[in-house]
């Protein structure tokens, strides 16, 4: 079978499997992201989820803390409260068990912006202007910690588009829209998957945390693969699909995978599915 055009990714799956099966994980992710935003909005009234993505509480009892923010707080010379430390441990354990970078695909509101940029890039056949190393985001973590130590402040709070968008959706955008627009234009015009795939230190943090996560995209029927390239065209981290579709372990073991399930959606041959990782070695 010939390779499909990037702009046509998902059309064959829609025709073969039906609209719902060709979009189910995309719709489930959007529902999850919007539900979390909604819970934060009604937090002051109903008390289900109060705070923000950096620090919040569930039902006023269970603390939840962004682990990257906690590390920067400590690097800045401030001792976090015990509940903040407990909240970070809860978040780390949860995402370590579930799946690699599940936060990025199922919680992060900026994912909706970067997905839109990727969709427009495919539909308009826009080619990337630049190529950046994907490990750049990992280098940004020590840079942020060093910057926080030198400045005595949580440096990421000033430049974090994820938190800016979250605050903007709940309290009003203000000037935050400029930062969000820059991320959108970066992904659309300059670097393919520029933010999530190359720059975001928060995504890198959750990649490290979830590298041994249990739920994995798996090429259970890779013999049926026709090499149409639809999964590669929609995947934010397409390199993670090469190994499981060729030989060896059928599971995507790379920590770069964001566990979005979009590759599963667009495959008309149903080559891929989510499976529980049992006894597989990490290869990411």
CATH number of the domain where residue 260 is located: 3.30.70
In a domain, 87, yes or no: no
How many domains are contained in the chain?
1
> How much is the average pLDDT of 183-204?
95
pLDDT 10s digits, 143-188: 999 999 999 999 888 889 998 998 888 888 788 899 999 999 999 9
In a domain, 37, yes or no: no
* DSSP annotation of 251: B
Show the domain range for 219. 6-25+213-276
pTM of the predicted model as reported, rounded to 2 decimal places: 0.91
Distance of CA 78 to the CA centre of its chain: 29
Cβ atoms of 208 and 103 within 8 Å: the answer is no
Q: What is the pLDDT of residue 279?
A: 57
Per-residue tokens: 2: 């010939």
> How much is the average pLDDT of 120-141?
91
Measured CA angle at 198 (ends 193, 203), to 5 deg: 95
Cβ partners under 8 Å of residue 199, min gap 6: 132, 136, 137, 140
């Amino acid at each position: 079978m010939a390779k499909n055009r990037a702009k046509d990714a998902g059309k064959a799956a829609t025709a073969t499997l039906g609209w719902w099966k060709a979009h189910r994980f995309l719709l489930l992710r959007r529902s999850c992201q919007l539900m979390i935003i909604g819970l934060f909005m009604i937090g002051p009234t109903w008390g289900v989820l109060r705070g923000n993505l950096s620090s919040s509480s569930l039902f006023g009892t269970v603390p939840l803390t962004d682990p990257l923010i906690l590390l920067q707080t400590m690097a800045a010379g401030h001792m976090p409260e015990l509940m903040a430390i407990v909240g970070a441990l809860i978040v780390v354990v949860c995402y370590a068990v579930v799946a690699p970078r599940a936060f990025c695909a199922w919680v992060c509101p900026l994912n909706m912006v970067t997905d839109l940029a990727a969709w427009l890039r495919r539909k308009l056949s826009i080619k990337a202007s630049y190529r950046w190393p994907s490990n750049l985001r990992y280098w940004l973590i020590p840079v942020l910690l060093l910057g926080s130590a030198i400045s005595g402040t949580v440096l990421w709070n000033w430049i974090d588009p994820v938190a800016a968008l979250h605050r903007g959706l709940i309290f009003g955008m203000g000037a935050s829209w400029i930062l969000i627009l820059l991320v959108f234009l970066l992904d659309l015009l300059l670097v393919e998957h520029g933010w999530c795939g190359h720059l975001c230190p928060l995504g890198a943090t959750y990649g490290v945390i979830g590298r041994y996560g249990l739920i994995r995209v798996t090429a259970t029927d890779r013999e049926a693969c026709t090499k149409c390239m639809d999964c590669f065209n929609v995947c934010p981290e397409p390199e993670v699909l090469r190994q499981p579709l060729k030989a060896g372990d059928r599971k995507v073991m790379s920590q770069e995978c964001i566990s979005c399930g979009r590759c599963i959606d667009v495959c008309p041959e149903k080559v891929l599915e989510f499976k529980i990782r049992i006894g597989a070695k990490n290869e990411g």
